[in-house]
Amino acid sequence: MEYSVKSGIPEKQRSACVVVGVFESRRLSAAAGQLDEASGGFLTQLLRRGDMEGRLGQTLMLTNVPDTLCDRVLLVGCGREREFGDQAYNKAVAAMASALQDSGAVEAVSYLTDLPVKGRDNPWRVRTAVQTTATTLYRFDQLKSRKDTPRRPLRKLVLTVPGRRDLAPGEAAAREGQAIANGMDLTRDLGNLPGNLCTPTYLAERAEQLAAEYPALSVEVLGPKEMETHGMGALLSVARGSRQEPRLIVMRYDGGNKGDKPHALVGKGVTFDSGGISLKPAAAMDEMKYDMCGAASVFGAVRAALELELPLNLVGVIAATENLPDGNASKPGDIVTTMSGQTVEILNTDAEGRLALCDALTYTERYHEPTSVVDMATLTGACIIALGHEAHAVLGNHHPLVNELLTAGRDTGDRAWELPLWEEYQDALKSNFADMANVGGRPAGTITAACFLSRFTRKMRWAHLDIAGTAWTSGDNKGATGRPVALLTRYLIDRC
Ligand code: BES
Ligand code: MN
Ligand code: ZN
């Protein structure tokens, strides 16, 4: 898909389709009003006849609208004008994208970006339109022998800006939206791939592929031997039960000043989480192929940074491993030594994410000395209980960093919510036999998991995103969401 911006009046657009909004009930948006006037009241007539109420998400495709230069006009319902905020705007754009994809129009000019969204300017509306269109049109059919691609898919979407002065900021916004969308698509593809194909080795190969595509990226991959040398006893303890070798994948992009410390993104890449010897129940266990979505979001954000050629230094670190039961697997009660030197009593082998991450964090601290580090992980089921599927949980040891992430989330609609990381919660991890246990019992599971990680990030500005509830959806339309790539990319752009 190609996205661009332009200004101009709707009746003069030579296009396969012009898209305009209609509010409830039967109230024309500015652009729709212009078309109506040019066409001698054609739209008003239709609305009076009752063809379109303007309910949010409703669409009506028109052909032969008099005195216009376009082949079609798509009316998109936007709901009540007074309630037209982020969520309604996204719904309207999604309805537009679906209707266009089914219409046979291969290009379109959309005036939805001219609509007044509460508290949002035109660049925001352009960026969001690109992101939401891409999200709506995404399909994962690479493993189907018969693809259900439309006969004439949408190829080009032109988004309108109010005037000529708005063209440059609009173009930048479209470029940003496109980069975020491409990053999200990569994240979704990796997340949706099943565990038999998306293994730690495969993830490492994909990183190397990305480096081949973007010469600005360099990749280093550590296998079990190197992990042994570094003393990564925790990460290795997770991989023990698997026939698949673990990989620590390091992606480095230096787009900033030489010598500037990098921003670090660290991802949990458990390519399948069976729970290990603390085996999970069978129901929905297939979803544990998504347990590498934190890693996938590192891929997505790094890709977006590369595409935007962001002027900053960035390091992405991924701890990739499977978690399976086996004669060689770690057992409850086992005690391992982490790269940091701290020992951990593994009371539950299903709390493997923190074991994989803690060594990745220590590695990041030691070899990259980042200005700040953000880790992403589908870490705890408890996070879904706390926040459901809307917000990522964010916890950290540096308030400005946490606030930067919260802000980036609000800007992009990829929202996070902070949970407390108070010292009091640390007690839950006490162990008689080692420096800490790897679980803290049922209460505040998301917080105690973050407490565990915090013991490996003391020397860094660090924040953790628990994306267990947000990285994928279940049910009929199941699949990876591409979150939190938008949040991360925004966060990185804001650091430039
Ligand atoms: N990957 C899971 C967390 C998870 C479960 C995410 C379900 C999304 C849906 C993680 O490795 C895990 O198993 N966590 C345990 C921790 C517990 C043993 C302390 C959990 O949440 O049950
Ligand atoms: Mn687990
Ligand atoms: Zn897991």
- In the reported structure, the alpha carbon of residue 239 is separated from the centroid of ligand 3 by a whole-number distance in angstroms of 12
Over range 178-195, report the average pLDDT.
98
Spatial separation of the C-alpha atoms in residues 299 and 204, rounded to whole Å: 11
- In the reported structure, the alpha carbon of residue 464 is separated from the centroid of ligand 3 by a whole-number distance in angstroms of 15
pLDDT, tens only, 254-297? 999 999 999 999 999 999 999 999 999 999 999 999 999 999 99
- In the reported structure, the alpha carbon of residue 465 is separated from the centroid of ligand 3 by a whole-number distance in angstroms of 14
CB atoms within 10 A of CB 282: 7
Contact 111, 10 (CB under 8 A): yes
Would you place residue 81 in the very low, low, confident or very high pLDDT band (cuts 50, 70, 90)?
very high
DSSP string, 166-229: GHHHHHHHHHHHHHHHHHHHHHHHHHHS-TTTS-HHHHHHHHHHHHHH-TTEEEEEE-HHHHHH
Would you place residue 157 in the very low, low, confident or very high pLDDT band (cuts 50, 70, 90)?
very high
Residues of the chain with CATH 3.40.630.10: 181-495
What Rg, from alpha-carbon coordinates, does the chain have? 24
* 6 is known as an active-site residue: no
- In the reported structure, the alpha carbon of residue 333 is separated from the centroid of ligand 3 by a whole-number distance in angstroms of 18
Chain-centre distance of CA 454, in angstroms?
A: 23
Spatial separation of the C-alpha atoms in residues 236 and 407, rounded to whole Å: 36
Residues with CB under 5 A from ligand 2 (ion): 273, 350, 352
Over range 471-485, report the average pLDDT.
97
Pairing between β-strand 247-254 and β-strand 217-222 as defined by DSSP bridges: antiparallel
Pick the catalytic residue from 188, 268, 303, 354: 354
pLDDT, tens only, 212-237? 999 999 999 999 999 999 999 999 99
| Ligand 1 pocket mutation pick from 285, 324, 380 by most atoms within 8 angstroms of CB | 380
Over range 63-82, report the average pLDDT.
97
* 354 is known as an active-site residue: yes
| Ligand 1 atom with least separation from CA of 280 | 13
* The pLDDT of residue 149: 83
In the chain, the percentage of residues whose pLDDT exceeds 70 is: 100
| Ligand 1 atom with least separation from CA of 440 | 19
| Ligand 1 atom with least separation from CA of 378 | 6
Output the CA–CA distances (angstroms, integers) from residue 136 to 93, 133, 148, 415, in the order listed. Answer: 9, 5, 15, 19
- In the reported structure, the alpha carbon of residue 324 is separated from the centroid of ligand 2 by a whole-number distance in angstroms of 10
Residues with CB under 5 A from ligand 3 (ion): 270, 273, 291, 353
pLDDT, tens only, 90-137? 999 999 999 999 999 999 999 999 999 999 999 999 999 999 999 999
Question: Residues 6 or more apart from 228 whose CB is under 8 A from it?
Answer: 236
Q: For all residues of the chain together, what is the average pLDDT?
A: 98
DSSP code for 495? T
Beta bridge partner(s), residue 335: 345
Over range 145-150, report the average pLDDT.
88
CATH number assigned to the domain covering 181-495 = 3.40.630.10
Long-range contacts of 37-46 (CB under 8 A, 24+ apart): 38/10, 38/11, 38/67, 38/68, 39/11, 39/65, 39/66, 39/67, 39/68, 40/66, 40/67, 42/66, 43/73, 43/75
Residues of the chain with CATH 3.40.220.10: 2-137
Fold type of domain 2-137: Leucine Aminopeptidase, subunit E; domain 1 (3.40.220)
Structure tokens at 14: 């030579």
Nearest Cα to 121, choosing from 166, 181, 76, 90?
166
pLDDT at residue 44 greater than cutoff 90 = yes
Pick the catalytic residue from 91, 280, 331, 495: 280
pLDDT at residue 160 greater than cutoff 90 = yes
Residue 351 Cβ < 6 Å to ligand 1: yes
Q: Which amino acid residue places its CA nearest to atom 22 of ligand 1?
A: 381
Over range 28-36, report the average pLDDT.
98
Ligand sitting nearest the alpha carbon of 287 = 1
Contact 491, 405 (CB under 8 A): yes
Over range 163-191, report the average pLDDT.
98
Residue 466 Cβ < 6 Å to ligand 1: no
Would you place residue 151 in the very low, low, confident or very high pLDDT band (cuts 50, 70, 90)?
confident
| Ligand 1 atom with least separation from CA of 270 | 1
* The pLDDT of residue 373: 98
Sign of torsion, CA 322 325 328 330? positive
pLDDT, tens only, 328-366? 999 999 999 999 999 999 999 999 999 999 999 999 999
pLDDT at residue 150 greater than cutoff 90 = no
- In the reported structure, the alpha carbon of residue 352 is separated from the centroid of ligand 2 by a whole-number distance in angstroms of 5
Ligand sitting nearest the alpha carbon of 470 = 1
Would you place residue 148 in the very low, low, confident or very high pLDDT band (cuts 50, 70, 90)?
confident
